[in-house]
Amino acid sequence: MRIALFITCFNDTMYPNTGKAVTTLLERLGHTVHFPQAQTCCGQMHFNTGYRREALPLVRRFAEAFAAYDAVVTPSGSCAGMVREHHGTLARQSGDADLMAAIGNLAPKVYELSELLVDVLGVTDVGAYFPHRVTYHPTCHSLRMLRVGDRPLQLLRAVKGIDLVELPEADSCCGFGGTFALKNPDVSSAMLADKVANVTQTRAEVLCAGDNSCLMHIGGGLGRLRTGVGTLHLAEILAGTEGDPR
Amino acid sequence: MSGTHTSGGVVWLGSPAFPEAARSAVADTRLRTNLRKATGTIRDKRVAAAAELDDWEELRTAAAAIKRATLRHLDHHLLRLEESVTAVGGTVHWAADAAEANRIVTRLVRATGETEVVKVKSMATQEIGLNEALAAAGITAYETDLAELIVQLDDDRPSHILVPAIHRGRAEIREIFRERMGEWGKPAPEGLTDDPRQLAEAARSHLREKFLNTKVAVSGANFAAADTGTVAVVESEGNGRMCLTLPETLITVMGIEKVLPSFADLEVFLQLLPRSSTGERMNPYTSMWTGTVPGDGPRAFHLVLLDNGRTATLRDTVGRQTLGCIRCSACLNVCPVYERTGGHAYGSPYPGPIGAVLTPQLAGVERAASLPFASTLCGACYDACPVKIDIPEVLVHLRARAVDAARGGSLPTPESLAMKAAALTLATPRRLSFAQRAGALGSRLLARRGVLRRLPGPLHRWSDTRDTPAPPRETFRAWWRRTRPENQ
């Protein structure tokens, strides 16, 4: 199976360790990871903010960059959701039949990391080791757009040494919402405050999620208040082993 | 008699944009407490009530299908409704907009010679600002729903579709009753406390006088069946039943999207609505009437069919699903934004997620341009909606309409310039790499120990409450090129 990594522009720039962790993890499971150099961005920020005209060339580029692979994995629920749920919308609006066909073929093969591991590769115990107290925030798009359900928790429960604690009001949005955080900073901060309070209540050392954008938001609040709670993407917890701990 | 707001309507005049209105709402401690309590309670009740039905998802699917099919042939069903209502002794009036609806109702009330009406809680009459229009014509409208009464006595505005006084706690309600009830009729009893039972008793006693003496009632409608001409109102307090049965004349104002093809369709909606709105298996009062019956109930029945932007909404193939809304308010109760701002910030009688998509469509996107952006797109509303309105889909659709409408302006906005610059940067990997190097360099100059505490320009809205990590020296892309030259 030819697996391509869609790193996302955000992880590429801000969280390269997440991409390295996905690569390490998949290679440990015996797979070859490809990184198509032509990739840039799925266009989610433009689409969600109303700039569809600007998003369309990014959809085109995505379709070309990943056409040749059997599966595309991305360490982001919201970017996977953008491709699966909205690339088709933009392609249809453009009236370009070739693009519509390309997206129609490609979109179902795009997986968020936990989906690829559990559904496609059929693995929940990835041989990881992480001897820390962890709480997990299910990000909105992974939960309600992709419907990943408890797949990330299945993966975390199988991690050796982990002390996994439940996050109160876990499925409440953290208040990030992309440009929402800039357009509605007061409401966003109010939501963040409640999320931060719920995280600290768990006494976890690390907050884990499948989207670094949400983690940067919650982590930004945890850091500003000097809570000492860290954030880690699911991939980075799953990548650690007893021989190579994180 | 106290003054009433002169700014009824789909969009309240003079309301600030959502982010500005939300700023003061978020800082209002009492409001936040009232909202947290109320939405939290009702949220849990709804989940439990929905979980009791094995076929909940099938009911949602059926409701969505009925609504969408009905909207496709709305003209046909409306004409059929007119025929049925007329055949059973009612009179149907057609109102293209709020002004016409208000003129019709005013004329009908004047024709009775009365100067007072009792009202059943109704979103349609809030939407058209009927109370204000009647007041201007010398007619006093008395709200009889407990929460609407609280809002009316306080010269306030509703902040929730189902619980218009959700922003008030019981101590505030006691003060409102003590200070204002006497101006509108029977005053609050001496020694009134904030015990909910005492408050309800005070309202009951105050309202009873209105029910017994008022000859004209105005209501909205939850549903109307085209085949029988039956109109239905669903409520909890019995005030609706009083208004719908005691007066001599009943005037019902109904949005044209409320029509259902058949009486049998109520089977689906009467299961979904109470469980979604109050979390009850069945609401205490479901009133249905089919025209007029000699010797029983109102002698005259008028049905005002209101368009007021609905036909325009129907033209939009993505936005039209909004018209399936049955006003249950489940989306408000699960919305993390609504929970923190309350309803007034939305500047319309339709607040919350459904308001963020309905108001811009009824009033025009340009008159409510900030509302489609008043959401994180978390999707909780879509999951809760009993008629499966994909609110996030409509939100991003309306955002695109708002952005496209602004594209024609003489000066580009800073946001549109930033979005264009981002699109150019992301157009090729080479440009992206260049921007990443420049950005990382700049950020590291501003960072201390790898953390940015203050960001420049409008980004302060982010950094006011959040730290930001400085981007690492090496991007993933650069790492891959450096470490895997064989796999390019």
Residue B4 confidence (pLDDT): 40
Asked if B90 and B226 sit in the same domain, the reply is: yes
The answer to whether B378 contacts A173, with C-beta atoms less than 8 Å apart, is yes
Global ipTM: 0.96
Residue that finishes a domain, picked among B276, B310, B344:
B310
Alpha helices, DSSP H, located in B89-195 = 98-112, 123-128, 130-136, 146-153, 170-184
pLDDT at A187 over 60: yes
Residue that finishes a domain, picked among B245, B275, B310:
B310
- Separation between Cα atoms, residue B349 and residue B122, nearest integer Å: 10
**What tens digit of pLDDT does each residue of B349-378 get?**
999 999 999 999 999 999 999 999 999 999
Question: Is B329 within the bounds of a domain?
Answer: no
From B161-170, B323-332, B382-391, the region with the lowest mean pLDDT: B161-170
The range of the structural domain enclosing residue B167 comes to: 5-310
Asked if B109 and B250 sit in the same domain, the reply is: yes
Question: Is B393 within the bounds of a domain?
Answer: no
Asked if B396 is an interface residue toward chain A (Cβ–Cβ < 8 A), one would say: yes
Question: Is B191 within the bounds of a domain?
Answer: yes
Mean pLDDT of B284-298: 95
Mean pLDDT of A107-127: 98
Asked if A145 is an interface residue toward chain B (Cβ–Cβ < 8 A), one would say: yes
Mean pLDDT of B385-390: 98
Amino acid at B288: M
Distance from A86 to chain B by nearest Cα, in Å? 9
Q: Name which of B432, B466, B488 is nearest A40 (Cβ-Cβ).
A: B432
Chain A residues whose CB is inside 8 A of the B488 CB are 37
| Radius of gyration for chain A, computed over Cα atoms and rounded to the nearest angstrom | 18
Interface of A with B in 35-74 (CB under 8 A): 35, 37-41, 43, 45-55, 57-58, 61
**What tens digit of pLDDT does each residue of A133-157 get?**
999 999 999 999 999 999 999 999 9
Task: Kindly tell me the burial class for residue B137, based on how many C-beta atoms sit within 10 Å of its own C-beta (0-12, 13-18, 19 or more).
Answer: middle
Q: Name which of B336, B337, B400 is nearest A50 (Cβ-Cβ).
A: B400
Asked if B15 and B154 sit in the same domain, the reply is: yes
- A246: confidence class by pLDDT, cuts 50, 70, 90: confident
Question: Is B228 within the bounds of a domain?
Answer: yes
Residue B90 confidence (pLDDT): 98
Residue B71 confidence (pLDDT): 97
Residue B487 confidence (pLDDT): 66
The answer to whether B337 contacts A184, with C-beta atoms less than 8 Å apart, is yes
Asked whether the whole model's pTM tops 0.90, one would answer yes
Question: Is B125 within the bounds of a domain?
Answer: yes
Asked if B61 and B190 sit in the same domain, the reply is: yes
Question: Is B402 within the bounds of a domain?
Answer: no
pLDDT at B411 over 90: no
Residue that finishes a domain, picked among B252, B280, B310:
B310
Counting one residue from chain A and one from chain B, the pairs whose CB atoms sit within 8 A come to: 186
**What tens digit of pLDDT does each residue of B436-467 get?**
999 888 888 888 888 999 998 899 999 999 99
Mean pLDDT of B149-176: 94
Asked if B420 is an interface residue toward chain A (Cβ–Cβ < 8 A), one would say: yes
pLDDT at A26 over 70: yes
The answer to whether A224 contacts B382, with C-beta atoms less than 8 Å apart, is no
- Bridge partners (DSSP) of residue B232 are B223, B288
Distance from A130 to chain B by nearest Cα, in Å? 23
Considering its fold, how many domains does chain B have in total? 2
**What tens digit of pLDDT does each residue of A34-68 get?**
999 999 999 999 999 999 999 999 999 999 999 99
Question: Is B320 within the bounds of a domain?
Answer: no
Q: How far is CA B143 from CA A199, B131, B157, B184, B206, in A?
A: 44, 9, 12, 11, 11
Mean pLDDT of A215-220: 98
The answer to whether B429 contacts A40, with C-beta atoms less than 8 Å apart, is yes
pLDDT at B82 over 50: yes
- Separation between Cα atoms, residue B192 and residue A102, nearest integer Å: 70
Torsion of CA A188, A191, A196, A201, to 10 degrees: 180
Question: Is B409 within the bounds of a domain?
Answer: no
Q: Could you tell me the CATH number of the domain that includes residue B189?
A: 3.40.50.10420
Asked if B254 and B129 sit in the same domain, the reply is: yes
The answer to whether A177 contacts B377, with C-beta atoms less than 8 Å apart, is yes
**Most B CBs within 10 Å, among A42, A47, A51, to test the B interface:** A51
- Separation between Cα atoms, residue A175 and residue A163, nearest integer Å: 26
- Bridge partners (DSSP) of residue A148 are none
Residue A137 confidence (pLDDT): 98
- A195: confidence class by pLDDT, cuts 50, 70, 90: very high
Mean pLDDT of A214-233: 98
Q: Which residues contact B460 (CB under 8 A, 6 or more apart)?
A: B454
